[in-house]
A and B are shown apart, each in its own frame.
Chain A
Amino acid sequence: MIESQRHSYHLVDPSPWPISGSLGALATTVGGVMYMHSFQGGATLLSLGLIFLLYTMFVWWRDVLRESTFEGHHTKVVQLGPRYGFILFIVSEVMFFFALFRASSHSSLAPTVEIGGIWPPKGIAVLDPWEIPFLNTLIPLSSGAAVTWAHHAILAGKEKRAVYALVATVSLALVFTGFQGMEYYQAPFTISDSIYGSTFFLATGFHGFHVIIGTIFSIICGIRQYLGHLTKEHHVGFEAAAWYWHFVDVVRLFLFVSIYWWGGI
């Protein structure tokens, strides 16, 4: 907190990033639609929009880091904002994945006569859940344990150990993604093979995408831990990454039980 200030709230300076982010999003969506309908200049607008968005993300987060880590504007009470915000974001993610699981259950609990009233549909050779799928459930669980190890290390002020723990977290995440890629490559069905393939790749694919996001989030935390940004008392970014990682982990458990195991019998 700045000395001359008589309260612990962060009064932000004017910033160009909200409007630049909005323009980037506009260019991305309009360019995306134009590109998908083969309009002239669609690909260019889409690329420009994405570059603009990525640039905005970089400079906006850079500003937040300067304000929080280096200028100390993120007091205890200010930290509540990003915490609640991130919790609400994860709640919205839960609802998103609920929809994917619902699509799968709707199709498999009472299979229509068009697929013969049976699940998996005739001709779909399913994956054995006790091979790669089970291993690839244990790996993210271990990664979740590693992120808890990192948390304890940060709380205990063991800075080097926290970096090691985050390296372990990220390594396990990368092994997961590698195995998942191998599973996709070797799968005897594709996303266009019946409602089974559609729901399978929709749910596992979006989960894999979230694992990649969580991996990048953990890598950023590892770098910030290495640079000494995270302290015993102040490490909201790390906590958000850990919550996100546990969320992705829980989704994987549900994927294994309902889609790989139950859905494959």
Chain B
Amino acid sequence: MAEIELKTAPADFRFPTTNQTRHCFTRYVEFHRCVAAKGDEAADCERFAKYYRALCPGEWVDKWNEQRENGTFPGPL
């Protein structure tokens, strides 16, 4: 059986304090900006998705996805 490698998002000097809420949010925004710029298939964007999935609670991601669909997402996409 192949060994599964468990990794979280790397430390980011933009978010040095304990509360990682803004780190999670920024990675979510970065992923969607990346997809918007390079297209759905771009492999470069996958790492941002990994980071935000590691950092963000699932309910937040669900809520933000819903907001993006409704056009009410407040972040700088």
A and B bind? yes
Interface residues of A (CB under 8 A from B): 110, 113-118, 121-123
Contact residues of B between 24 and 77, Cβ < 8 Å to A: 24-26, 29, 73-76
**Which residues of the partner chain B approach A113 to less than 8 Å between Cβ atoms?**
21-22, 24-25, 75
What are 19 of the A-B contact pairs (CB < 8 Å)? Answer: A110-B22, A113-B21, A113-B22, A114-B74, A116-B73, A116-B74, A116-B75, A117-B22, A117-B26, A117-B29, A117-B75, A117-B76, A118-B74, A118-B75, A118-B76, A121-B74, A122-B74, A122-B75, A122-B76
A-B pair count, CB < 8 Å, reads 26
Looking at chain B's contact residues, is the secondary structure mostly helix, strand, loop, or mixed? Answer: helix
**Which residues of the partner chain B approach A118 to less than 8 Å between Cβ atoms?**
74-76
Alpha-carbon distance A113/B22, docked complex (angstroms): 6
Alpha-carbon distance A114/B21, docked complex (angstroms): 10
**Which residues of the partner chain A approach B74 to less than 8 Å between Cβ atoms?**
114-116, 118, 121-123
Q: Told that A116-B74, A118-B75, A123-B74 touch, could you supply 17 new A-B pairs with CB distance under 8 A? A: A110-B22, A113-B22, A113-B24, A113-B25, A113-B75, A114-B74, A115-B74, A116-B76, A117-B22, A117-B26, A117-B29, A117-B75, A117-B76, A118-B74, A118-B76, A122-B75, A122-B76
Q: How far is the CB of A116 from chain B (nearest CB, A)?
A: 3
Interface residues of B (CB under 8 A from A): 21-22, 24-26, 29, 73-76
Q: How far is the CB of B30 from chain A (nearest CB, A)?
A: 12
**Which residues of the partner chain B approach A114 to less than 8 Å between Cβ atoms?**
74
Looking at chain A's contact residues, is the secondary structure mostly helix, strand, loop, or mixed? Answer: loop
**Which residues of the partner chain B approach A117 to less than 8 Å between Cβ atoms?**
22, 25-26, 29, 75-76
**Which residues of the partner chain B approach A115 to less than 8 Å between Cβ atoms?**
74
Alpha-carbon distance A115/B29, docked complex (angstroms): 13
**Which residues of the partner chain A approach B21 to less than 8 Å between Cβ atoms?**
113
Alpha-carbon distance A227/B23, docked complex (angstroms): 67
Alpha-carbon distance A122/B76, docked complex (angstroms): 8
Alpha-carbon distance A108/B5, docked complex (angstroms): 40
Give the interface centre of B22, B73, B74 by most chain A CB atoms within 10 Å.
B74
Give the interface centre of A113, A116, A117 by most chain B CB atoms within 10 Å.
A113
Q: How far is the CB of B67 from chain A (nearest CB, A)?
A: 10
Closest to B73 in A: A116
Alpha-carbon distance A247/B22, docked complex (angstroms): 38
Q: How far is the CB of A100 from chain B (nearest CB, A)?
A: 24
Q: 8 tightest A-B contacts by CB?
A: A116-B74, A116-B75, A113-B25, A122-B74, A115-B74, A118-B76, A113-B21, A117-B25
Q: How far is the CB of A110 from chain B (nearest CB, A)?
A: 8
Q: How far is the CB of B46 from chain A (nearest CB, A)?
A: 23
**Which residues of the partner chain A approach B24 to less than 8 Å between Cβ atoms?**
113
**Which residues of the partner chain A approach B75 to less than 8 Å between Cβ atoms?**
113, 116-118, 122
